[in-house]
Amino acid sequence: MNGVTKAFAVALLACALVQAARAQEPGLRIELEALGERPAELSTAERPYAALLSENLAALLSTFANSRTCNRATVRSVAFADVSNVDPITRQLSQGGGRVYNERLFVDVCGAQYMPNYYVLVRPSEPLSVVSGVPGETRASPLLQRDVQPNIERIARVLAQCPQPNQIGLAHTTFDQSPPDGGGAWEETWIVSACRARVAIPVRFQPSERGGIDFGINGDAARVTR
């Protein structure tokens, strides 16, 4: 792809994102800022990348769609990366010439803010597919997210005294720090919405002597707000 063709593809993708997003929710106008340059296989796919992102955003923001006081959401990308080789899950998904990308967005809808993470699977001769990851700033790989999330939600359910599983969900994650001389370790806070409470639970990640990353959840330091 030459420079002119690439620039045209980027412009076309940005335009398509805005048009597709606005078409999703008639009661809520979703304004997507231009994403910038993305790999060619995303901008030229048979099922546009823009449409996939818009469908996921529409589902995320569906509770605001019929609001009389909220009619506008702004969305921008805050990070984009090729994560095809970060853990066994993404390596398996990218076999046979495929790629896995992570798109992290910042969404502001009438003062409510979200940071959804989407994983985009590109495979030869197959339509693009998008799956949601843990929201927020987490640096955990998809495999770590899968292992940590159920443990976090179990702790939150107990601390918030919330017996209804359908009222428990991960709301946000924050990257807190990489401790000095931590040897590659880092710390995050995972925030769970549980019934009418918010539970913030510290998580520490560190390289394992066996390879990969270990995690530790500090339930004793969890904070509950109502």
Strands 197-207 and 29-32: unpaired
Q: pTM surpassing 0.85? A: no
CA of 46: how far to CAs of 4, 8, 19, 124, 128, in Å? 21, 17, 17, 12, 8
Mean pLDDT of the chain: 83
Which tokens in the block code for residue 127? 């339509």
Contact of 48 with 91, CB cutoff 8 Å? no
pLDDT tens for 182-208 read 678 999 999 999 999 999 999 999 999
More confident residue, 4 or 169: 169
Q: What percent of the chain stands above pLDDT 90? A: 50
Angle between helical axes of 3-24 and 49-60 (0-180°, round to 10): 30
pLDDT tens for 119-139 read 999 988 888 888 899 999 999
Is a pLDDT exceeding 80 seen at residue 166?
yes
